[in-house]
């Protein structure tokens, strides 16, 4: 066989070389920017579709992977929501740090109201409420179930109270405010009970720390789950990856479908976790409402706020993406063509 030269026009035609414009200085194989951009977008679309197809081919396996991730996500999130409810039950911090001014028994409603207005104008006070002697007695009867016993008393023993809500809740500031209010005329006693506030603060702090530790551990577990799942996908596509690398595919090109797969697992897990939390809290709420009712309270668990659900979903997608990225980064080095 001999090397017979072929005319340039026929050469182009046979090799699939398309004629270039005379002033086009780009190499024959280098597309322009818009073509590259469209191709890049198309490559992302193809990677996403391919990842969806692959997950769809193993529906049960994909579902269980998502479910394991969902459980890992819903545990800390669920505990955090429960803690929020406990905080709500205990009242806000400002309410918990209220200063109660017990008035002398001879302070009437008009005087009490005047003093309340005077206190409310202070710059370090957020709000001041006047509770008259009659109101105090009615509340006590209602809350403690002592109606009959209280009726036996010759006169109302309860003083009027001004409930002062401070703007700042630092301990030193509160104590200074309490002392100042105690010196006002007509005030019998100014009470600031910080001990239970501090105890509740400590308990909630412990709860938050526990949830944070649990969340860290479960996030690590989740990264391992997603990493291991992606590793199996990489193993299944080893020969494809080797070919892609041999024909000039970059690491980012190889990585792309796996990142989509990780994000899709995260999306599925986030949705499942959201559902688990919504139905789980609803199920728990029935028992909580019944228990609260026995104590004469209308307390009910708050559900999953939309913004918390969306954050959960976004976080799950991000975790899936990061897990996949770590898995691919770790295995990409081993996937050099052989």
Partner 1 sequence: MIRFEQVGKRYPNGHVGLHELSFHVRRGEFIFVTGHSGAGKSTMLRLLLAMERPTSGKLLLAGQDLSSITTAQIPFLRRQIGVVFQNHQLLFDRSVFDNVALPLKILGMGKDEIAKRTLLALERVSLKDKAEHFPADLSTGQQQRVGIARAVVHQPALLLADEPTGNLDPRLAAEIMSVFEDINRLGTTVLIASHDLALIARMRHRLLTLQRGRLIGDGEAA
Q: Does 302 bind partner 1 (CB under 8 A)?
A: no
By the rule CB under 8 A, 52 interacts with partner 1: no
Shortest Å distance, C-beta 226 to partner 1: 24
Strand partners, 127: 165
**Contact with partner 1 (CB under 8 A): which of 40, 210, 212, 299?**
40
Output the CA angle 182-115-153, nearest 5 degrees.
80
Q: Which is nearer to partner 1, 50 or 87 (CB)?
A: 50
Closest listed residue to residue 165, CA positions, set 90, 91, 99: 99
Q: Pick from 18, 110, 294, 306: which binds partner 1 (CB under 8 A)? A: 18
16 contributes a contact to partner 1 by CB under 8 A: yes
Q: Is the dihedral of CA 207, 210, 212, 215 positive or negative?
A: negative
8 A C-beta contact, residue 191 and residue 284: no
Q: Residues binding partner 1: what is the number (CB under 8 A)? A: 38
Closest CA to 101 of 161, 184, 173: 161
- Residues numbered 152-211 forming contacts with partner 1, rule: CB under 8 A: none
DSSP 20: P
* 329 lines the binding site for partner 1 (CB under 8 A): no
- Segment 209-268, which members bind partner 1 (CB under 8 A)? 239-240, 242-251, 253
Considering the complex, state which of residue 43 and residue 92 has its C-beta at the smaller distance from partner 1.
Answer: 43
End-to-end CA distance of the chain: 33
31 binds partner 1 (CB under 8 A): yes
Closest CA to 274 of 51, 88, 89, 66: 66
Binding interface with partner 1 (CB under 8 A): 1-6, 11, 14-18, 28-29, 31, 35-36, 38-40, 42-43, 239-240, 242-251, 253, 336-338
């Amino acid at each position: 066989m001999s090397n017979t030269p072929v005319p340039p026009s026929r050469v182009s035609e046979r090799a699939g070389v398309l004629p270039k414009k005379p002033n086009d200085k780009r190499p024959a194989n280098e597309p322009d920017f818009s073509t590259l951009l469209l191709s890049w977008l198309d490559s992302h679309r193809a990677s996403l579709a391919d990842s969806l197809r692959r997950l769809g081919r193993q529906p049960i396996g994909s579902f269980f992977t998502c479910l394991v991730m969902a459980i890992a996500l819903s545990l800390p999130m669920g505990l955090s929501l429960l803690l929020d409810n406990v905080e709500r039950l205990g009242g806000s911090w400002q309410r918990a740090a209220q200063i109660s001014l017990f008035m002398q028994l001879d302070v009437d409603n008009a005087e009490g109201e005047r003093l309340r207005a005077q206190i409310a104008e202070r710059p370090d006070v957020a709000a001041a409420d006047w509770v008259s002697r009659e109101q105090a007695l009615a509340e006590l009867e209602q809350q403690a179930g002592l109606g009959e016993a209280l009726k036996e008393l010759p006169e109302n023993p309860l003083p009027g109270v001004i409930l002062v809500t401070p703007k700042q809740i630092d301990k030193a500031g509160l104590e200074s405010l309490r002392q100042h209010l105690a010196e006002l005329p007509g005030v019998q006693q100014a009470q600031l009970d910080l001990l239970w506030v501090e105890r509740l603060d400590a308990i909630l702090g412990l709860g938050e720390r526990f949830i944070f530790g649990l969340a860290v551990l479960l996030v690590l577990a989740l990264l391992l789950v997603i990493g291991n799942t992606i590793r199996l996908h990489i193993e299944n596509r080893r020969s494809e990856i080797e070919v892609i690398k041999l024909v000039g595919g970059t690491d980012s090109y190889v990585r792309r479908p796996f990142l989509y797969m990780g994000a899709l697992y995260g999306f599925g897990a986030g949705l499942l976790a959201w559902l688990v939390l919504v139905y789980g809290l609803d199920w728990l709420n029935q028992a909580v409402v019944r228990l609260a009712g026995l104590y004469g309270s209308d307390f009910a668990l708050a559900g999953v706020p939309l913004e918390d659900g969306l954050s959960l979903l976004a976080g799950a997608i991000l975790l899936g993406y990061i897990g996949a990225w770590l898995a691919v980064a770790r295995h990409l080095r081993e996937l050099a063509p052989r």
